[in-house]
């Protein structure tokens, strides 16, 4: 019988917990470089109104000794800045959260790469056209964002116009 191979260096699970974060107590990272224009937050607000929350925000616990004393043990948001801003504006008291434990260097790497890595994905135009043909939202900002997506990716949705 062949022996199964175990990866030489498996991915480390940096997630240390899940829970709800009190929105008013969330500290945003001062190193967050992403800006969220009105067009984006309007579309996000529309999706949140249409569907609701489907993804956790990510908070670094900063518990490790690598952190300077003044920053150690002060949880900081590393993903979900737009959702937090909208939650504060709309009076959403809590948000679902994933808690991680990252060193200062790892936190910087996640802040710098999380969204850009996702943005490297390419569109399967046929699947996107079919998907867009099934999306139904009465929210103008969501409809505009979907129209721009279809135009940018060079697709016309099947069955129904956006």
Q: Are 89 and 75 in contact (CB under 8 A)?
A: no
Q: Give the pLDDT mean for 133-142.
A: 92
Res 9: pLDDT: 72
Q: Give the pLDDT mean for 20-32.
A: 96
Distance CA 46, CA 23 (A): 19
Share of the chain above pLDDT 70, in %: 91
Res 156: pLDDT: 73
Give Cβ neighbours of residue 72 (< 8 Å, ≥ 6 apart). Answer: 62, 63, 64, 65
Q: For residue 157, is pLDDT > 70?
A: no
Distance CA 79, CA 114 (A): 8
- Residue 1 pLDDT grade (very low, low, confident, very high; cuts 50, 70, 90): low
């Amino acid at each position: 019988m062949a022996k199964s191979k175990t990866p030489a260096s498996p991915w480390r699970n940096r997630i240390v917990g899940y829970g709800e974060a009190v929105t008013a107590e969330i500290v945003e990272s001062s190193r967050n470089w992403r800006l969220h224009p009105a067009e984006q937050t309007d579309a996000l607000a529309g999706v949140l109104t249409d569907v609701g929350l489907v993804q956790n925000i990510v908070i670094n616990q900063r518990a490790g000794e690598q952190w300077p004393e003044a920053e150690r043990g002060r949880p900081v948001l590393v993903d979900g800045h737009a959702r937090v801003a909208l939650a504060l504006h709309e009076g959403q008291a809590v948000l679902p959260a994933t808690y991680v434990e990252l060193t200062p260097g790892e936190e910087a790497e996640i802040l710098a790469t999380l969204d850009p890595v996702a943005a490297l994905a390419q569109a399967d135009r046929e699947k996107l056209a079919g998907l867009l043909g099934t999306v139904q939202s009465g929210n103008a900002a969501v409809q505009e964002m979907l129209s721009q997506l279809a135009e940018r990716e060079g697709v016309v949705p099947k069955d129904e116009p956006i």
